[in-house]
Amino acid sequence: SLDLLPTITAIGSTTRQQQSVAAVPGLTRQLPQQQYWDMGFDASWELDIYGRVARNVRAQQAFVASAEYGLEDVSMSVMAEVARSYFELMGAQQQLAVAQRSAETQRRIVKLTEERLAAGRGTAFDTERAKAALYLTLAVSPALEAQIAGSRERIAVLLGKTSDALPASLSAAPKLPQLPDTLYVGSPEQLIRRRPDVQAAERQLAAETMLLGAARADYLPRLTLSARAGYLATSFDSLSRTGTSRLLIGPVLSFPLFDLARVNQRTELVHARVDQARAEHNAAVTRALNEGQASLVAYDRAHARLAILAEAEASSARAADLAQQRFEAGLTDLLQVLDAQRTLLEAENQLVMGHTAAATALVAVYKAVGGGGGLGPVR
């Protein structure tokens, strides 16, 4: 907005002048050199008759707003990535806990088969088969531990820290959060208004449009009020003496009569930038709507799958308990117990992975709708 105010500049200069002999009729000898000292102020103020300066000012303000929205978009992306990595960390920790619980159960089965073998009621085949199942379960843990370490490092990088500086609570195995059944994100217009990338593109388009108006104003005359005041003398010491002051003030009317081709090229360039900004804005709007719809569908399906996996895990747990009871009572062989335990382990892992996928899908919804301000569960 300072461009709308007069421009005042302090000046100071010194020049040495040699007068030409031919410039003075009748002069036969060279005049001595003269040195001039000049000090004062120059002021100019463009009367913004056609709004050129005002449009340039509004364009710069729009550029600043676009940059701020861009920063907000980057911050939101980082936050979403941190949340996604955190949910993946919790999911891997829960999978590790499932594997450890399953290993404990399988150790008891190995011990039971060894006791039955010692009592003459079991076989070495059952014992070795139980040990093989235990070792396969134990082999899962190193991969999960590596996944946990990778998630911690990724979170640390996103937060600009080292993994040692992360809270100790990240080393625990908290449960994944309970997820809402349904989501409300508002109307498409509300979604677009919340998306910082759309707002950044809109401000960019507004800025380029303002610059186009300013460029078109270059075809018109400019009226500027100019003033120059100060002191002019032949020596520095005499600058402040009486008679050395000077004053020049008056209007200046300028028109690019012989520069219209260049003005036309600049206008065409700005017009092309407006077309580009408009296309980018339309693409941002389309992308926002598509991402919002796709993320909602993905979350809905992930949540529905999670409910099915929960039923499968519950049934597998009951089946494993029944198989264990029947085996201890001598009503079935070890194969059914191992098969039930393997099914339970797979069901528990699938449930954790499904819960993780649904949680990360919720993060995608949060990012797609431009934050959680308008995101909430409904009945």
- DSSP letters, 240-273, are TSTT-EEEEEEEEEE--TT-HHHHHHHHHHHHHH
230 and 36 in contact (C-beta within 8 Å)? no
Q: Are residues 113 and 172 in the same domain?
A: yes
Average pLDDT over residues 109-135: 88
How far is 157 from 176, CA to CA, in rounded Å?
22
Same domain, 74 and 206: yes
Number of domains in the chain: 2
Q: How confident is the model at residue 73 (pLDDT cuts 50, 70, 90)?
A: very high
**Does the pLDDT value for residue 80 go beyond 70?**
yes
Q: Identify the CATH number of the domain in which residue 190 sits.
A: 1.20.1600.10
- Please report the beta strands in 134-258, taking only residues with DSSP state E, as ranges in sequence order: 222-233, 245-254
Residue carrying structure tokens 């300072």: 2
Q: Tell me the pLDDT band of 377, cut-offs 50, 70 and 90.
A: very low
The pLDDT value recorded for residue 166 is 82
Domain around 79? 48-220+255-368
Q: Is 338 a domain residue?
A: yes
Residue of 134, 140, 88, 82 lying closest to 111 (CA atoms): 134
- pLDDT beyond 90 at 126: no
Residue range 195-216: mean pLDDT, rounded: 95
User: Are 81 and 215 part of one and the same domain?
Assistant: yes
- Specify whether 338 is located in the same domain as 358: yes
Q: What is the CA radius of gyration of the chain?
A: 40
CB 310 within 8 A of CB 337: no
178 and 230 housed in the same domain: no
Same domain, 240 and 299: no
Chain Cα centroid distance, residue 366 = 13
* 25 within domain boundaries: no
Helix and strand counts by DSSP (H, E) for the chain: 7, 4
The whole-number pLDDT of residue 236 equals: 77
Question: What pTM was computed for the model?
Answer: 0.77
